[in-house]
Structure 1
């Protein structure tokens, strides 16, 4: 094989696993950590320090320190502090002599000159035979080698790290020899933030070359290489003579640095449609607060069943005043997603859920009006409800949003990889629809028995007295929603699927579907309703109840998963 005739030979993948990346993604990730990120930026001329990590091979699965080979060391090798998990993984993150300047290209920088002996030459040859790759890190981005796929047009495969070298025949020789990659052409992809005017690193790529550098005279600090001339601004792209690895061979390590503007934005990995998630999370907190306070009043005996309508009145008033917490939590979450228009999120929180419920209620009430039933809400009462909504609830939501948005944004516990990676193919049981439907069974099972008594008290005109037992069931519901969501969220992250935001909400929220199905079962087996209007009223009100149950349980599951991911990633250290 003639190494001088094809550049592809030097970049050829050596039976190693590859990772296909999309050309542009806004939601980056790495295997599990996909949840949080802390922004940073660099000005022109800022110093960028490259760190080196372990040497890895898919053939041996034995990692080695970068400086176990006689690569160019810095003046002082400094180990980055590693946690227990990194030590168990064999990570050894250390500093390196590779130092860049933001937006300042460098050509043919000479790193050092090394003369091999029998021992070091053997070490290089062994690592080349075992197809070891060199891993580096810049601003927490792993170094990747882009390789075009021959079977797909405009498709690129990215490999983590570059190979120490390669083995092959050269210049007609029948004997295979070892060649080292001693020249690296780095490409740092950057995206300029129009707001801060800072450049953010969104890609760190390299193309490795094997080049036997040539120079005149004795070697010194001012020696100019014939094979690489920075003054002529000629980047090395080919070499007729690759650098062989043998005893007493001289190796000169060099590198180039180029900066490229990229359309890939700095990762913020918010969920899809984050505004809606914030609105539902805030509304769920409003529901949660209303139910907790109502339960406490009922358990303490302040809401006696003999006081007809007292429970409903208390729930309506508590719902209105809990709008303060709805706006606060919605705005806090919205600001964490880098949202800037707090009034917009406050408006959606104040109107989305109440408007939907009010529309269904108004239609049902109009049907009752048409039947001349005393169950129809009078116009004066309807006006009072609208006043409570617009006059008290909406202003309180805006006040809560204003206070919540003025608070400092929730800090992310870890800085993660910004390179997007495709979600690997998932097992059948991790299919989103399947896992969401399975996740709703356990919360529904927690309230299944109590639900029968509640429906009986509502639709068969009976009194409900056992508020103490209901409060215990409500606590069990909270625990089960949190548990099932955390478990499924953990499985999802272990499967390298980072789209956990909405799924955590829908997992426990899907219990509302089972509630509505049970309501339909109860209608056909326990009730003797025959008139279509009565059936319409039953399913209309149960639809409102199921929708409310969805918001409540979904919020419990979401915040449980949110707390869980922050807890586990707060113990993750990434340099």
Structure 2
């Protein structure tokens, strides 16, 4: 029944998402858009981004590019400058897609087409220089394909794409050594096509399988009357972003220079520079690329990376295999042997009444008082039968050690259980969300062409999984002896989402101040708040009511004593800080190699797309298995040290690898990235912290549920009469 409900839930959610984002939703081989000769092919402009910063900007908000004119394209009801409706994921990733003035007609080549001549003042000129020096690239889109700069491998055996193209380049003056900036004011667009499959191809339809952009900087003087350059393919002089120097404080000093310090430059002197923009369009047939595989050029290194992914899987399997052996030994030899001993000797309560003999420094058992009294009677040799009986009693008594001694305290409710229960509920919510995302990604529903789909579906899954959050939180809360289930419901629904929303809102203020498209619009924030409070909160309430009132608490095989047992001094390896770091290191070693690709995709290749979800799913399964086994081993060692405070400990043991991931992100920032500016650094560390916190909450919940099931199993197998 529960499985049918989950399958139906995911099917319904997928259907709703596909209907709400028809333009973006796409599965390879489906939803093919074909064009006939003479049909208009729209070109959309999106944003600019850089590897040196986390701040992105909408393309049409740049003061030095041609603004949209509002012209209507052939056969299209939309005018240039019209914003395209975006899904939630696209908005959150900073997309601002608008229809451009570039006219592309299927099958029609244009050697040169004039776009506009745009006048820029000194402020716009300085802004252009900042953009160029910051290494920004622009993203244009044709038929859902991002415009790309093409490259060829060193051996010229393969061609690959890097999404985006540069807006200009920087050079240095040979005479003064000052920087010179050139803007790429001419673009050559190459669209590769092939015959459309199926019936559309028989009717003359063509599909686009490649979109390449080649840039060039062309001087304003070397042009014809129509605005096009004389020789667009061979131009020696570029379009330099230069206006004669001026200064309000020291004109004599800088009169002969083209560079003036910004503090002494008069930005409002009325001087302007006219930048002409032109473009060329070429359509080329290419039968070597299938439409369903047209994204492969963006992933040219997939063959090389596949070997590394397989290495990561082998490494993960090796670590998980060693842990499996350890857990198997604990279960089959240690715990099962002790349980069998209990079955032979009687109940745990009977054995507990027998005195425990201590061992001396050399490992020998200390004598009982009765042994000392009878030593003179038995002389030195003693009675053999008595020695045999005492030896068997000693073995039974010696079994009452470690985890068996804390049976009456192991299910004692933990301190701050009212906080742990909501965390476990939110953790199960994340488990369902992550599982759904991986399943949909492996089946191809979520893929690079579904722009923003991963985030959109993730938010939807998280919200609708609120019912599972409330269910588990309610049951755990009642197991801890809680009575006010409505209060627990509110905490569960608000605690984790509220902290995430608050931190994102505060970070958004810094991005708003930079006028970046990375800033989440206020309307989107209000929509997220409404989704949280009006959809998730009721779902958490329903799940909590069902889990707390209808199902009730979990049953325990042992009832706790009225007086807690005193915990002895703990060995160094069971101390919380040490055990959490050691337990977290092993899962981190499992995912380390795959983590390199994830970090590179997110922080370095902002235009790139993570696509190896099959490998990610396998590594995730091994990761969860490793977390389960590490938690079992660490919890067993803690119980053997007669420490029954395992509730919170198991949660932190499961999430311990999040600490290592955050430490890795700090190292990654200093060694791999070239991020500049306070805001970008703040965004990096804050979002890294949020990601690690979410990951730690997910794996911590897995660790808690694993330890809980493990302890119920071992204490339920012995007789406690």
| Bucket of the pairwise TM-score, normalised by the shorter protein | 0.5 to 0.7
Equivalent residue, structure 2, for 1:292: 435
Q: Using the TM superposition, give the Cα deviation of residue 307 of structure 1 relative to its aligned residue in structure 2, in angstroms.
A: 1.4
Q: Tell me, yes or no, if structure 1 residue 529 matches structure 2 residue 675.
A: yes
Counterpart CA distance in 1 for 2:528 and 2:560 is 48
Equivalent residue, structure 2, for 1:239: none
Equivalent residue, structure 1, for 2:600: 456
Equivalent residue, structure 2, for 1:31: none
Q: 1:334-370 CA deviation, whole Å, 9 max, x = no partner?
A: 1111211111111111011111111110111110000
Secondary structure of the residue aligned to 2:620 is helix
Equivalent residue, structure 2, for 1:488: 634
Counterpart CA distance in 1 for 2:409 and 2:640 is 24
Q: Tell me, yes or no, if structure 1 residue 497 matches structure 2 residue 497.
A: no
Q: 1:411-444 CA deviation, whole Å, 9 max, x = no partner?
A: 1123455553211112222222111111111111
Equivalent residue, structure 2, for 1:342: 485
Secondary structure of the residue aligned to 1:456 is helix
Q: Using the TM superposition, give the Cα deviation of residue 375 of structure 1 relative to its aligned residue in structure 2, in angstroms.
A: 1.1
Equivalent residue, structure 2, for 1:562: 708
Secondary structure of the residue aligned to 1:478 is helix
Counterpart CA distance in 2 for 1:522 and 1:83 is 48
Q: 1:352 aligns with which of 488, 492, 495?
A: 495
Counterpart CA distance in 1 for 2:496 and 2:560 is 35
Secondary structure of the residue aligned to 1:496 is coil
Structure 1 spans left out of the alignment, 5+ residues: 1-81, 94-135, 145-162, 168-264
Equivalent residue, structure 1, for 2:614: 468
Secondary structure of the residue aligned to 1:374 is coil
Q: 1:85 to 1:359 in 2, by over 3 A?
A: same
Q: 1:84 aligns with which of 317, 327, 340?
A: 340
Equivalent residue, structure 1, for 2:446: 303
Q: 1:413 to 1:466 in 2, by over 3 A?
A: same
Q: 1:98-140 CA deviation, whole Å, 9 max, x = no partner?
A: xxxxxxxxxxxxxxxxxxxxxxxxxxxxxxxxxxxxxx97xx9
Q: 1:543 to 1:92 in 2, by over 3 A?
A: closer
Q: 1:373 aligns with which of 516, 535, 540?
A: 516
Q: 1:134-188 CA deviation, whole Å, 9 max, x = no partner?
A: xx97xx99699xxxxxxxxxxxxxxxxxx99x98xxxxxxxxxxxxxxxxxxxxx
Equivalent residue, structure 2, for 1:17: none
**Do 1:415 and 1:574's aligned partners in 2 also have CA atoms closer than 8 Å?**
no
Counterpart CA distance in 1 for 2:681 and 2:347 is 68
Counterpart CA distance in 1 for 2:609 and 2:719 is 56
Counterpart CA distance in 2 for 1:365 and 1:477 is 33
Equivalent residue, structure 2, for 1:395: 538
Q: 1:452 to 1:87 in 2, by over 3 A?
A: closer
Secondary structure of the residue aligned to 2:420 is helix
Q: 1:296-349 CA deviation, whole Å, 9 max, x = no partner?
A: 001000011111101110001111001110010000111111211111111111
Equivalent residue, structure 2, for 1:25: none
Q: 1:569 to 1:378 in 2, by over 3 A?
A: same
Matches within 5 A, 1:6-405: 84-86=340-342, 88=344, 90-91=345-346, 269-405=412-548
Q: 1:267 to 1:297 in 2, by over 3 A?
A: closer
Equivalent residue, structure 1, for 2:652: 506
Q: 1:408 to 1:359 in 2, by over 3 A?
A: closer
Q: Using the TM superposition, give the Cα deviation of residue 487 of structure 1 relative to its aligned residue in structure 2, in angstroms.
A: 0.2
Counterpart CA distance in 1 for 2:633 and 2:651 is 13
Q: 1:268 to 1:514 in 2, by over 3 A?
A: closer
Q: Tell me, yes or no, if structure 1 residue 549 matches structure 2 residue 695.
A: yes
Q: Which of the two has greater helix per residue?
A: 2
**Do 2:409 and 2:561's aligned partners in 1 also have CA atoms closer than 8 Å?**
no
Q: Using the TM superposition, give the Cα deviation of residue 85 of structure 1 relative to its aligned residue in structure 2, in angstroms.
A: 2.2
Counterpart CA distance in 2 for 1:301 and 1:458 is 20
Equivalent residue, structure 2, for 1:424: 568
Q: 1:58-83 CA deviation, whole Å, 9 max, x = no partner?
A: xxxxxxxxxxxxxxxxxxxxxxxx97
Deviating more after overlay: 428-437 vs 267-276 = 267-276
**Do 2:411 and 2:556's aligned partners in 1 also have CA atoms closer than 8 Å?**
no
**Do 1:436 and 1:510's aligned partners in 2 also have CA atoms closer than 8 Å?**
yes
Equivalent residue, structure 1, for 2:13: none
**Do 1:267 and 1:418's aligned partners in 2 also have CA atoms closer than 8 Å?**
no
Q: Using the TM superposition, give the Cα deviation of residue 477 of structure 1 relative to its aligned residue in structure 2, in angstroms.
A: 1.1
Secondary structure of the residue aligned to 1:475 is helix
Counterpart CA distance in 2 for 1:317 and 1:419 is 47
Equivalent residue, structure 2, for 1:199: none
**Do 1:350 and 1:397's aligned partners in 2 also have CA atoms closer than 8 Å?**
yes
Q: Using the TM superposition, give the Cα deviation of residue 267 of structure 1 relative to its aligned residue in structure 2, in angstroms.
A: 10
Structure 2 spans left out of the alignment, 5+ residues: 1-337, 356-368, 374-407
Aligned residues: 336
Larger radius of gyration: 2
**Do 1:454 and 1:464's aligned partners in 2 also have CA atoms closer than 8 Å?**
yes
Equivalent residue, structure 2, for 1:571: 717
Q: Using the TM superposition, give the Cα deviation of residue 408 of structure 1 relative to its aligned residue in structure 2, in angstroms.
A: 3.0
**Do 1:416 and 1:574's aligned partners in 2 also have CA atoms closer than 8 Å?**
no
**Do 1:268 and 1:337's aligned partners in 2 also have CA atoms closer than 8 Å?**
no
Task: Give the structure-1-normalised TM-score.
Answer: 0.55
Measured on the aligned residues, the alpha-carbon RMSD in Å equals 2.8
Secondary structure of the residue aligned to 1:440 is helix
